[in-house]
Amino acid sequence: MRRIEADRARVAMASYQTVTDDVGKLRDDELARPSRCQGWSRADLLFHLLLDAQRALVTFATPAVGEPDVDFISYWVPFRPGAEGYAGHARFVRRVASSYQSDLVIAAQWAETAAAATHAAALLPADVTVATQGHVLFAADFLATLAVEATIHHLDLAAGDKSLAGPSGPGLAVTRETLDGALGKPVPVGWTTSITC
């Protein structure tokens, strides 16, 4: 298994901050607009990311027993379009997000939780192992998976909106490294780590 560099994985947590920065620019009606994720508004997508940040806080406090069984690339193997549970999760996200009094409340909860997750990540030794979703990973690899999730969904959230800055350079770099590894070859020439929507 490959192992990502610890410092690079931590720097990739900047992806959470860039999501927070862009979401902070959006009004309630702008959060209600469709995202690039089919059937999800921007607020729905942000709620999905909020669930990931909450899972991160649990994972940081869940020491693992045993050796890592996945790395920052192989972690993604089960996550394929149409996989079991996807439709149910999509419905759950839409229903729960729609129960909020305002989409701005989701944005505020995201900002608070993302800041807590970033703070906790900075205190976590990169070479410890953590457990999440039935797997054991080095903490640095887990941080990379969080950066990839946030970066890809940041692209989904910001698509077509030139008022938003888009994902962080470090987040794009880790995402590209992950995709290169998953594909077994570099992503197409022309996609640099400075891509924005």
User: pLDDT by residue (tens digit) across 20-76?
Assistant: 999 999 999 999 999 999 899 999 999 999 999 999 999 998 889 899 999 999 999
Question: Does some domain include residue 97?
Answer: yes
> Residues 86-99: what's their mean pLDDT?
94
User: Rounded distance, CA 153 to CA 93, Å?
Assistant: 14
Three-class SS of residue 54? Answer: helix
Residue 69 CB partners (closer than 8 Å, separation 6+):
135, 136
In a domain, 190, yes or no: no
Whether residue 152 lies inside any domain: the answer is yes
* CATH code: domain of residue 97: 1.20.120.450
Q: Is the pLDDT of residue 102 over 90?
A: yes
Output phi, psi for 135, to 5 deg: -125, 160
Report if residue 95 sits inside a domain. yes
> Cβ distance 113 to 50 under 8 Å?
yes
At residue 96's C-alpha, the angle toward residues 136 and 132, to 5°, is: 5
Angle among Cα 13, 70, 187 to the nearest 5 degrees reads 65
Q: How confident is the model at residue 4 (pLDDT cuts 50, 70, 90)?
A: low
Flag whether 188 is in a domain.
no
Q: What is the residue-wise DSSP string for 11-36?
A: HTTHHHHHHHHHHTT--HHHHTSB-S
Is residue 47 within 8 A of residue 23, CB to CB? The reply is no
| Count of CB atoms situated within 10 Å of the CB of 30 | 16
In a domain, 137, yes or no: yes
Residue 197 has pLDDT above 90, yes or no: no
Confidence of residue 173 (pLDDT cuts 50, 70, 90): confident
The band of 10, judged by pLDDT with boundaries at 50, 70 and 90, is: low
Structural domain total, the chain: 1
| Residue 1 counted as domain residue | no
| ∠ CA 165-170-172, rounded to 5° | 70
Cβ-contact 141, 75 below 8 angstroms: yes
For the chain, give the mean pLDDT: 88
Mean pLDDT of 86-111: 95
Q: Confidence band (pLDDT; 50, 70, 90) for 191?
A: low
Instruction: Please state the φ and ψ torsions of residue 93, each to the nearest 5 degrees.
Output: -60, -50
- Three-state secondary structure readout of 120-138: HHHHCCCCCEEEECCEEEE
Distance (Å, rounded) from C-alpha 17 to C-alpha 121? 13
- Determine the structural domain holding residue 46 and report its residue range: 6-183
- Check residues 190 and 125 and name the one with the higher pLDDT: 125
Q: Taking the model in full, what pTM does it have?
A: 0.90
Let me know if residue 133 belongs to a domain. yes
